Amino acid sequence: MEERKPGVYLCRGCGIDEAVSVDDLEQVAGTELKVPTCRQHDCLCSDEGVETIARDIAEGTVNQAIIGACSGRVMTDRFQFNGTSVIRANLREQVAWSQPAGDENTQMLAADNLRMGIAQAAKTVTPEASAEGETSSTILVCGGGITGLSAAREAVRAGHAVVLVERSDTLGGWAAQWSKRMPFRPPYRDPQDNDVAALIAEVSGNASVTVMPDTVVTRTEGSPGRFSVTLSQGGAEKIETVGAIVVATGWRPYDASRLGHLGYGTSPDVVTGVELEGMLGAGPVQRKSDGKAAKTVAFIQCAGSRDPDHLPYCSSICCAVSIKQALQIVEADPEASAFIIFDELRTPGTAEEFYRQAQEAGVIFMKGKVKGVDADLKVVYDDELLGDDIPLEGLDMVVLATGMVPNSTNPEAAAAESGADQLVDDIDPEAPIAIAGYKGGNGDGAAAEDAAQTPGDGGEDGNGDGDAEPALPGGPILNLQYRQGPHIPILADGFADSHYICFPYETRRTGIYTCGPVRRPMDMAESAEDAAGAVLKAIQALRNAGMGASVHPRVGDLSLPKIGLDICTKCRRCTVECPFGAIDEDENDYPILNPSRCRRCGTCMGACPVRTINFDNYNVQMVSDMIGAVEVPDEFSEKPRILILACENDAYPALDMAGINRHQYSPFVRVVPVRCLGSVTMLWISTALEKGFDGIMLMGCKSGDDYQCHFIKGSGIAKERMEKVGETLKSLMLEEERVAVEEISIADSGHVPNVINSFADRIVEIGFNPFKGF
């Protein structure tokens, strides 16, 4: 890199000038830190202010702009100078707006924020795009049901070629079997005609779509932009290069043969909802036993759902499906009666209209739990509204509303050799780390192996007793050739893992997007919408891969982890802990990065025990220097210093918002934004303690089953690591409480000052860091 020419630009607007002495700040930059160019402006983001900076850059006196003004989260479009590195020191939200004006401590905070910015600039290099050559714009869609067909249609409309792979020999999936659809247009009251045939015709008739029935994916290599997938059509293999993959493998009904307690198998007239669909499509519904018309039909909701012995979750659509079928029955035959026995009727959104329609049509709803169904179709249920057992006698048919099981594996294929245990726990059993969303992901490899050896026993109820979690049966869908195993990571219930709030379509494998019921239970209309969302994400991924840029949440980031192999000890922590499987191992067990799989979270950087993984614009030394740049007063000044390593996705904006809302908090905190708590390395903790910081707080997203970490595992990993730091602190004769991890969501701006203040109080109680001043 050419010689660094930093320039400091200080804004006096938005209350900064009233809160602190900007002249003194200029002194810090110019006199103390010898930055050659220092300027002030009344409104730096105005055209005139921006011009001041642009002029210095154009004249060549400055090639790094350190802007002491508002938070780095705002005005990013104003302070952008053709790739010149721009460093932002937050003087507004986290100083002027959250601290008392004119106070000595406020001035010290502002000066430290500026010092940290200047230190950051000294270790930053503007990353350059690593072009990797040609990328493909073709999208592979796995699954030819309503979701896959909708995905193919949307991709073609957006101008992409599609390879549509379907395991069976026909398109349409389950949707092709339905007699009618649930209403998806206003007034949302009547079952609508099934239009899936038109969708099949549209997609298969499109020249940009290559439809491959009777095909499975046997191998997937590469990374976004150039996945190399091996497709096996009836045994004949073919290799395709695709830019991104949309997985729409859908669902299968829960195995009703396990529902003997609800009469399945005891009488041919106890059928599942899926079976009833076939009967509805064939004309007037007749009893299987004697062919008589079914005049009196009872529907049992939650048959094997929300039941710890079966599917523990709600499939969300069974209520509306039963309503639809009951309506079809009573509308086809005015003499017919339909009873729906529910525990809780769940009709979200417009399905409420549908529920009303069924009530008006005379469908009888009963609230309670079914106790049993005998061979004469006598249903006994415990009516919660009467507080009594009620027998229903004289029924012609009983319908079990069974739930949806995700096809996140291919149930027809044999489990992959190392696949089943990888699916449950893709972390090295030698170094167990809690994985978000995995129950029993405690590295107990033996339990996983047991489950893998008894296929069919564990079955779909992937949520048995909590200790030995059986893996989903079946082989991997894509058979990924990744170090972390062939499967798409799943959640405890078997659905594909995704960040359910912010990035619902993302899997933990960049460039591979799930949609439809493989992601969560949903109906046809939702699946079609979901498919459109996933396709847009897939398009973003392959385009970004072509530019060498990251996908969300660091969209457009060109930096990549650079692994210094000279001191690498082949410990594999980076390859194991990467939430996205971006790092594989080469034949000599050295880590090897697949750049376009990387999301730039820095979890590898935080994991590396020899700290040989760094980004150009975010590295171990940079943050260490920033921590070191803070001026720590001696203990007699009675001014403690608390380091906050704040996740830039949620915690840092929450701090900014606290300032916007003018919430004040302790002036003794020094905030360093980090890409993810997963990137926090132990060195930073020890640097801070050596420097004399009295407390350290890590602020990040929620971890666990309902994680909100934008990089899925990062906050969980950080929590795990920090639990171990306690021992180190003890060995240094320091109190464990000096290091804390707090979960802060973006909505916590009102709460975050309390978190900070109570931590500061605790630190004062404990007393000052004895290393202060050494």
Partner 1 sequence: MAQSAPDTARKYDLGFARWVYENVEGGDKLSMCMQCGVCSGSCPIGTEMDHGPRKLFMMIRAGMKEAVLTSNTLWNCTKCYRCVVRCPRGVPVTYILGGLGTKAVEMGYVKTEDTVRFSKAFWWSAKTFGRTDERLVTSRYHFSGGFGEGVKKSLANLKIALGMFKAGRLHLGAPHKVKGTKNLQAILAKAQEIEERAGETER
Residues lying near partner 1 in the complex (CB under 8 A) are found at: 296, 337, 339, 356, 359-367, 383, 385-386, 388, 390-395
- In the chain, the largest separation of any two C-alpha atoms, in whole Å, equals 98
Residue with Cβ nearer partner 1 (288 or 356): 356
Minimum CB separation of residue 349 from partner 1 in Å reads 18
How many other CB atoms are found less than 10 A from the CB of residue 389?
A: 12
Instruction: Judge whether 261 and 400 are in contact, CB under 8 Å.
Output: no
Minimum distance of partner 1 from residue 344's CB (angstroms)? 13
174 vs 510: CA distance, rounded Å: 28
* Closer CB to partner 1, 336 or 605, in the complex: 336
Least gap, CB of 296 to partner 1 (angstroms): 6
CB closer to partner 1, 104 vs 388: 388
Neighbours of 666 (CB within 10 A): 20
Bridging pattern class, strands 642-647 and 695-700: parallel
**3-state DSSP call for residue 218?**
strand
Nearest in space to 143 (alpha carbons), one of 469, 531, 510, 553: 531
Two tokens, residue 517: 């019921």
Nearer to partner 1, 278 or 391 (CB): 391
Q: What is the nearest approach in angstroms of partner 1 to the Cβ of residue 351?
A: 15
Token pair of 231 as six digits: 């497709």
Strand 215-223 with 180-181, pairing: unpaired
Centre a 10 Å sphere on the Cβ of residue 772 and count the other Cβ atoms it contains.
Answer: 18
In the complex, what is the shortest distance from the CB of residue 370 to partner 1, in angstroms, rounded to a whole number? 13
Q: Do the Cβ atoms of 319 and 347 come closer than 8 Å?
A: yes
CB of 388 to partner 1, least distance (A): 8
Considering the complex, what minimum distance in angstroms separates the CB of residue 268 from partner 1? Answer: 21
Dihedral sign, Cα of residue 99, residue 11, residue 125, residue 650: positive
* Residue carrying structure tokens 């009102």: 750
What the block records as the tokens of 701 is 């997203």
- Say how far apart CA 34 and CA 31 lie, in whole Å: 5
- Euclidean distance between CA atoms 319 and 300, whole angstroms: 10
Query: Quick one: 386 or 555, whose CB is closer to partner 1?
Result: 386
Q: How far is the CB of 288 from partner 1 (least distance, A)?
A: 20
Residues whose CB falls within 8 Å of the CB of residue 375, separated by 6 or more in sequence, listed in order: 263, 266, 267
Beta carbons within 8 Å of 533's beta carbon, 6+ residues apart:
504, 505, 515
What residues contact residue 135 under an 8 Å CB cut-off, 6+ apart?
225, 226, 243, 542, 545, 546
User: 159 or 334: whose CB is closer to partner 1?
Assistant: 334
Amino acid identity of 50?
V
CB of 287 to partner 1, least distance (A): 16
Distance of alpha carbon 86 from its chain centroid, rounded? 29
374 or 457: CB nearest partner 1: 374
**At closest approach, how far in Å is the CB of 366 from partner 1?**
6
Are 37 and 60 within 8 A, CB to CB? Answer: no
Q: Is the dihedral of CA 749, 750, 751, 754 positive or negative?
A: positive
Q: How far is the CB of 391 from partner 1 (least distance, A)?
A: 6
Instruction: Supply the minimum distance, in Å, between the C-beta of residue 654 and partner 1.
Output: 40
Minimum distance of partner 1 from residue 317's CB (angstroms): 21
Q: How far is the CB of 364 from partner 1 (least distance, A)?
A: 5
Comparison of 342 and 505: residue with beta carbon closer to partner 1: 342
Cβ proximity to partner 1: between 380 and 682 the closer is 380
Closer CB to partner 1, 330 or 645, in the complex: 330
- Please report the DSSP string for 221-288 in residue order: EEETTEEEEEEEETTEEEEEEESEEEE---EEE--GGG-GGGTBTTBTTEEEHHHHHHHHHTSS-B-T
Nearer to partner 1, 227 or 381 (CB): 381
Task: Give the number of other Cβ atoms within 10 Å of residue 436's Cβ.
Answer: 27
Q: Which is nearer to partner 1, 265 or 391 (CB)?
A: 391
The partner residues of 270 in beta bridges, in order of sequence, read 398
From the CB of residue 667, how many other CB atoms can be counted at a distance below 10 Å? 18
Query: Between residues 186 and 334, which has the closer beta carbon with respect to partner 1?
Result: 334
Eight-state DSSP code of residue 30: I
With beta carbons less than 8 A apart as the criterion, state whether 133 and 552 touch.
no
Q: In whole angstroms, give the CA distance from residue 736 to residue 729.
A: 6
Instruction: Specify the residue, 216 or 366, whose C-beta has the smaller distance to partner 1.
Output: 366
